[in-house]
Amino acid sequence: MSATVAEALSLEQLIKAQACGLGFDLAGITSLGPMETAAAFETWVARGYAGEMEYLPRGAAKRRDSRLPVPGTTSAIVVGLDYGGRSPSGPIARYARGDDYHEVMLGKLGELHEWLEAELGRPIAGKAYVDTGPIIERDLARRAGLGWFGKNTNLVNPDVGSFFFIGALLVDLDLRPDAPFEADRCGTCTRCLDACPTGAFVQPRLLDATRCISYLTIELKGAIPEDLRSQMGAHIYGCDVCQDVCPYNIKFAQQLREPAFAPRAAIGNRDARSVARDLLAMSDDDYRGAFSGSPMKRAKRRGLSRNAAVVLGNIGDEGDKAALAVATSDHEPLVSEHAEWALEQIEARRLPT
């Protein structure tokens, strides 16, 4: 950008241009203050839809008012980083195939913060958030004009769909806010609701997380309810189904451009059965080597092995029984129990009805 052009732009325009220069696909600005969906969020938790995610209610007062987490801040620079909705679907949700998005996003937001201080020639109080604190980033993103709340609860942008991460840099600057995104462009479409394998949507924009495959494979620490296991299909970690069927993603989803989100060798573009068998065979050291710095480390080895067993129970055959038989002696009872269930499922499919 030439000096002449830069001088003609407002600070807000320069900030968004710099965000794009750092690799972000979306950028907008909004003022901090009371959050519109905070009360609905608290009701959602109270109704039990959050399941075992006991960390969610923490910091309720700060979640209600986005000025409170970082005293003195008045504006939020909200960004979106695409993770490649055009990549083939598979047993691992697209967002989790590469490096941990928290670290990638926070690094870029840190660079944006440093640039802003250099541009203004003084320290700017602020803090970046990426799904890690009492901030409703989705609210801030809608207010910053980045999209609307889809019926599957994801933020949808009319130009790129919904396969993007949201982050926010809260700053002590009075920036001119962008116009909020007011329209609801879902119309009468219910494809996301109808396609959910486990029927996790109570109604449009109301998700029962305890039935969501992403929750079951990532956040749930114990046994997966037996009545839901067969509905998980070939999903080992997370689920993209409600995004895959969205018309905005079908038409506007992007190719993967961020190198940090490229699939790791343990995942690649491999089929669910081969990934599941490898996961079951992993030792704790193997797991740490394969998933260090990955979002998949959240489920721990025991969780990934549990999920892998369920997938083989759903789609496996005689060729998978050896891997499952070994897993029935796993030192983690959670893994052995799910491996035994999987063997029972394969055997039931083999026997004539």
pLDDT in tens, the chain (353 residues): 555 555 678 999 999 999 999 999 999 999 999 999 999 999 999 999 999 999 999 999 999 999 999 999 999 999 999 999 999 999 999 999 999 999 999 999 999 999 999 999 999 999 999 998 999 999 999 999 999 999 999 999 999 999 999 999 999 999 999 999 999 999 999 999 999 999 999 999 999 999 999 999 999 999 999 999 999 999 999 999 999 999 999 999 999 999 999 999 998 889 999 999 999 999 999 999 999 999 999 999 999 999 999 999 999 999 999 999 999 999 999 999 999 999 999 999 887 65
Q: How much is the pLDDT for 352?
A: 66
Instruction: Look at the block and give the residue holding tokens 């990426």.
Output: 130
Q: Mark whether 139 is an active-site residue.
A: no
- Alpha-carbon distance of 92 to 240, in angstroms, equals 9
Residues 6+ apart with CB under 8 A from 285: none
Please report where in the chains the tokens 């599941």 appear, as a residue.
Answer: 276
pLDDT on residue 221: 97
Query: Catalytic one among 131, 244, 278, 286?
Result: 131
The residue among 20, 46, 178 whose CA lies nearest residue 108 is: 20
Residue 172 buriedness (CB in 10 A; 0-12 / 13-18 / 19+): middle
pLDDT score of 274: 96
Inter-CA distances, 332 with 47, 183, 190, 324, 337, Å: 32, 49, 40, 14, 9
Cα 156 to Cα 207: distance, rounded to the nearest angstrom: 16
Sequence ranges of the domains in the chain? 3-171, 191-350
- DSSP letters along 74-116, please? -EEEEEEEE--TTSPP-SB-GGGSSS-HHHHHHHHHHHHHHHH
Q: What is the full DSSP assignment across 169-215?
A: EEESS-PPPPPP----TTTT--HHHHH-TT--EEETTEE-GGG-HHI
Half-sphere exposure for 135 (CA within 13 Å, toward CB): 24
DSSP string of 20-33, one letter each residue: HHTT-SEEEEEE--
Collect all residues with Cβ–Cβ distance below 8 Å to 61 and sequence separation of at least 6: 68
In angstroms, how far is CA 115 from the centroid of its own chain? 27
Alpha carbon distance 51, 255 (integer Å): 34
In whole angstroms, what is the distance from residue 262 CA to residue 222 CA? Answer: 30
Contact in structure between 127 and 323 (CB atoms under 8 Å): no
CB atoms within 10 A of CB 261: 23
| Direct distance between the N- and C-terminal alpha carbons of the chain, in angstroms, rounded to an integer | 70
